Chain A
């Protein structure tokens, strides 16, 4: 099992550009989520999905879109990048419901810089 994979590892964008961060998992997990990590703030939830075709907003969803067409993939789209979106992005997955008692498995992260 590769676990949770993310691409790219690093990305530099100019303000206003769009891009998609890719996330895939091969553990057949129903629940997937995206977090951003900023210095001194821990991780904050952007969007999550409890299964294919179902997505919902987290704590900081503005400026990001997601879709979940398959169980394996959960891409995160930045529509018009802003410097405030400079961060490290983590994708995570969890078995079954993803409810509070489930362990979440994290990808290695994507470091994004917006100039």
Chain B
């Protein structure tokens, strides 16, 4: 069965410094992997997705993630944090073969200090 582990429940960075949000997954098949962002009191928005093409995936707002099969990881990065990046981020996995079901990680809350 597939699963997702987000290694940090909270991450705090200063504005202008790099962001790293960590995600490890477990999947029996070649997975589709996503990062979604949720700003306070809002719905979720797709940041980026990996579906077995290029291992380095670029998303919106300067975010990118690298799929590393050997490490079963899909960490989210951004070179320079902006105040507007403060939000909750979810790593999500879905098996390509079958399931219509997305499996969500527990989320990482990103705090950006001025």
Contacts and interface: CB of A to CB of B under 8 A. Distances in A.
Interface of A: 4, 31, 33, 35, 40-45, 48, 50, 56, 58-59, 90, 92, 97-101, 103-104, 106-109
Contacts, number: 67
Interface in B89-107: 90, 94-96, 99-102, 104-107
Given A48-B100, A48-B101, A100 B95 contact: yes
Contacts of B105: 42
**Across chains A and B, which 3 residue pairs bring their CB atoms closest together, nearest first?**
A100-B94, A42-B104, A106-B43
Interface of B: 4, 9, 31-32, 34, 36, 41-46, 49, 51, 90, 94-96, 99-102, 104-107
A44 B107 CA distance: 12
A59 B101 contact: yes
Contact of A100 (B43, B99, B106): B99
Given A100-B32, A101-B49, A45 B44 contact: no
Nearest to A103: B46
B106 A99 contact: no
Contacts of A56: 100
